[in-house]
Chains A and B, each alone.
Chain A
Amino acid sequence: MKLTINGEPRELAATTVAEALAAEGLGEARVATALNGDFVPAALRATTVLSPGDALEVVAPMQGG
């Protein structure tokens, strides 16, 4: 289905947040996720189902002031 991941359009077979992360090569990375603006805790990624057009944000700690 068509998704947006970190602002980039994607066409993925993934049906959950966990599968989308794995498809992006971030299955093992220390990241945090938000779906359509709402936080998705790591424990809920495997059961959080994606819908076409969803926007997934995947973040990590970066330089900041």
Chain B
Amino acid sequence: MPVFYGTEVASPLMLGTAQYPSPAILAAAFRASGAGIATVSLRREAGGGQDFLRLIEGLGVPILPNTAGCHSAREAITTAQMARELLGTDWIKLEVIGHTDLLSPDVFQLVEAARELTAQGFRVFPYCTEDLSVCDRLLAAGCEVLMPWGAPIGSGLGLANPHGLRALRAAFPDVPLVVDAGIGLPSHAAQAMEMGYDAVLLNTAVAKAGDPVAMARAMAGAIESGRAACAADPIEPRDMATPSTPVIGKAFLA
């Protein structure tokens, strides 16, 4: 199972807590998924925060707070500091958003925030792109895990750049890698795991499915299959056919 900053988690499925039809369905989806980590945000307390806190702490999985919606390193750093105090964890899913339509990372401020947060003792999980240079900078900034996007958050498009994600896996064989965002179907999650990714972080694909609990179970199954397939050393694809049935011994009937 994946190990993040020395902590082994129970499943390669990391599941978000937003957009479920009800708190009860959220809890049921988590049970069905066996997710190893739950992500949460910080938002202005308007009365619902205390009940939600009890709900997520009752899920029995480690909590990974995020800095969703932050558009600058400064905002993200302050949010991380508040999250650490509230949730008692130095883990932070670092999001610094650069573009509103794509919710793509601002990789420049991301690196800056990662460096500062690491200096302050945080264990940073950066939501990043699959760009090798950016990932190099994040590792140099102190990150020990990378979370490249599959596709824009909430899009459900799957892995938009599988070649880039594969190259990233090959470039950093010893760094825990998580595909974060863009997953729409179990096959997308399986594809990431087949490539050798350590984990998948998703939310909308489960929460907005017609039956979130059934989809949570489907995602868990796909992730487990993908992980097992990677461990089983898949064949290399080839352009031309190669007969699977032996040629030798075929009767001469022409």
* Number of chain A interface residues as a range: 20 to 34
> B44 contacts which of A7, A41, A65 (Cβ < 8 Å)?
A7
Among the listed stretches B83-91, B186-194, B209-217, which one makes contact with chain A, having 4 or more residues with CB under 8 Å of it?
B83-91
- A64 near B50: Cβ-Cβ < 8 Å: no
- Check A64 against B44 for contact (C-beta < 8 Å): no
Q: Tell me the bound Cα distance from A60 to B43 in angstroms.
A: 6
B68 within 8 A of A: yes
Interface presence of B53 (CB below 8 A): yes
The verdict on A38 contacting B78 (CB below 8 Å), with A62-B49, A64-B16, A64-B17 known, is yes
| Contact residues of A between 14 and 46, Cβ < 8 Å to B | 26, 29-34, 37-39, 41-42
By DSSP majority rule, is chain B's interface helix, strand, loop, or mixed?
mixed
Q: How many A-B residue pairs have CB under 8 A?
A: 107
Contact in complex: A63, B74 (CB < 8 Å): no
Q: Are B78 and A39 in contact (CB under 8 A)?
A: yes
A62 x B203 contact (CB < 8 A): no
Contacts of B49 in A (CB 8 A): 29-31, 59-62
Which of the listed residues A29, A31, A34, A37 has the most CB atoms from chain B within 10 Å of its own CB? A31
A65 x B82 contact (CB < 8 A): no
* CB under 8 Å from chain A, chain B span 66-92: 66, 68, 74-75, 78-79, 81-83, 85-87
| The residue from A6, A61, A63 contacting B86, defined by CB atoms under 8 A apart | A61
Residue of B nearest to A57 (CB): B44
Please report A residues at the B interface, Cβ cutoff 8 Å: 6-7, 26, 29-34, 37-39, 41-42, 57-65
